[in-house]
Each structure stands twice: as C-alpha cells, then as structure tokens.
A = this chain, B = another copy of it.
Amino acid sequence: MLFFRNDYGQGCIPEIMEYMNTTNGHSFTGYGMDTICQNAKETIKKHIPDYDVDIHFLVGGTITNQTIIKACLKPFEAVIACDTGHIATHETGAIEAIGHKVIPVNNYAGKINPSDIRKVFDAHMLSYEHMVYPKMVYISNATEYGTVYTLDELKNIREVCDELGLYLMMDGARLGVALSTVDYTLNDLANICDVFYIGGTKNGALMGEAVVISNPELKPYFRFVMKQNGAMLAKGWLLGIQFLGLFEHDAFFGYAKQSVVLAQKIQSKLQELGYALFMKSDTNQIFVNVSKEQYQFLSENIDFEIWEKCDDHYVIRFVTSWHTSQDEVNALITYLEQAIEKKE
C-alpha cells in the first residue's frame, strides 16, 4: 500500500542512522550536556550568524509548544493563535493544561492576520484585568494547511507584536518545507521571532525539535522548565545526533525541498485532472475534495488521512516525506487518474 499518510511515518534519513550506529558504543554525559549536542548547536548557529541565540533540543512538537509557552508567559497571560493552529486544536489542551488560554482568531489559508491580532488585543485591554492579557502570538510555518508565510507577512506580524509588546513564537514543526519555498532564512527568523523551533520529527529525524531563543529575556532558566515539564531526554545526545545529521551537510534543506517538489507534482496533477483542491498548498501537504466513491477506491490502495467529512464529499490529505520516491508519486498519480472516473 502506498504511504501518503504523513511526514512522520518512517524512521530517519541515512545521515542520521549512520551516526546512530557509529556512536552507539560511546559514553556520554546525560541530559543534553554532551559534546554531540554542543556540535549540533554550533552547526545550527552557523545558519544564524547575526544573532546570539540559545538552542535546546526537545523530543516532540506538543511538549515543545507547551515548554516554550510555560517558560515565556506569566499565569494570566495568553497566546493568540489561528483557529487552525496546532496548539488550538490537536494537542488535547496541552496549553490550557499548564494554565494558559489560547485565544483563537480566524485563519486565512492557515495564516494569522496582523489586524486580527490588534483587534483581539484591543478588545482585551477594554476589560483589562477581567480578561487574560494577550502576550504572545503563535504562528505555524509551514501552516497546518501547507501554506507558508511570506517575508512581508512575517514583518507585518512582527510590527504589530512590537507595537503591542507581544512575543512572536513560530511553531516550526514543518519549517524545513517552508524555508525551501521562500527567500528568508533561519537567520532572518532569529530576528523576526522571539523564539521559534526547527522541526526534526517531520523532516527526517527519528524525533526532535530544536528550540531557538533569540529574545534575551526568554533565555534564563529554560532548562528548569524543560526538566519540570518532562522534556529533558536522559540520553540527550540522541537529539544532538538528529540535528547534526540534519544540518552538518544541509540534509535538512535537501530533503525538505525534495518532498515539496514531489508534493507539488501531485497538486498540479490533481488540478490538471479536475479535482477541486480544498486549499492550495505551498509545501508537502496536499488537500483535495473527493467524492465518497473516489475515497473508497483510493483508500483501498493508498494510506492517507481524511481531513474533514462533509455531507457529500470528503477532504483528504496526501503528504510527502523525506522518504517519498518519484515512483511512489507516479503510482499515486495513476490511482488518481483512475479515480477521476469514479465521481458520481
């Protein structure tokens, strides 16, 4: 069965697995205080030459979002996010569980609008201490819909954050594919965001997200919050290995680009065949509307996710990963060509 379910359905890129094997017998200090983590951080910092950042490696996305927000916000402070933001939907209330409200605003193709940030902020100031204090804006890049913020969009968000005294946090679980489609860099993000993270899990690592903190007031004591939150891996060098493997020879960027190219082929073909896209994606997640008959046919041959069940059709999602091959994409396209006939 063809696998287009998600971008975290296979192990790791060969560059990482080789490190896993070669270092397996070595002895390391625990909790991320080892030399591999140190090297991995230095390697990432080479991509951020202009800013002084702290880097921490955590295991997965939800605990990373939770740990960052716990470290940044006071009890009564809240985070503004798109209604489609991962923290607003698919983390089982992880942010509320640590005491913070997620204030949802409308998304536009998965993105947040600066004017909505200002509107929400102003509305909260009116009742002041009777409402939470919005103190952070959370954005995902690439978004949960596969779209990517332009540099101008990011600058506009930064501007409103500066004006209102808000932190800007970027969830970069899919930052690799985002960066492969734009002209800004990790270095730029260190300037635009107060804190962001570079996703490993969804771009070829076994696990791991690299948190990059550039705002100096958010740096102290971060490891206390990590430990308290259960986010400090005992064999921490394993996370260092992931990011060394990803960044030493820029595999991070190469695999991301490749998965975007393949996904965009699928999206183009879908349009060419007359399927209705649910959302035009910039990256490696493709969302398309199919009839129930088409769904039935496709699901017998392909492993993918239903994104939404509507009365007369389903929204389904195809995702490419570091592991997806041209052959698999060709095979998928063949099924899609056959399925187009199945429409009622």
Establish whether residues B91 and A100, one from each chain, have CB atoms under 8 Å apart when the complex forms: no
Shortest Cβ distance from A268 into chain B, in angstroms? Answer: 24
The complex is assembled from copies of this chain, and their number is 4
Partner of A27, one of B21, B27, B303: B303
Tell whether, in the assembled complex, residue A92 and residue B66 are in contact, meaning their CB atoms are under 8 Å apart: no
Please choose the segment from A43-51, A144-152, A153-161, A227-235 that sits at the chain B interface, where 4 or more of its residues have CB less than 8 A away: A227-235
- In the complex formed, the residue of B with least CB distance to A228 is B92
Contact in complex: A94, B30 (CB < 8 Å): no
Contact with B along A303-326 (1 / 0, CB 8 A): 100000100000000000001000
Q: How far is the CA of A341 from the CA of B46 in the complex (A)?
A: 50
| B100–A76 touching, CB < 8 Å | no
> Contact at A76–B228, with CB atoms within 8 Å?
yes
Contacts A96-B100, A224-B129, A232-B62 hold; do A9 and B29 have CB atoms under 8 A apart?
yes
Q: Does A75 contact B (CB under 8 A)?
A: yes
Interface segment, one of A130-138, A176-184, A244-252, A259-267: A130-138
A227 touches B10 (CB 8 A): no
Contact of A231 with B11 at beta-carbon distance under 8 Å, contacts A76-B92, A130-B90, A238-B207 already known: no
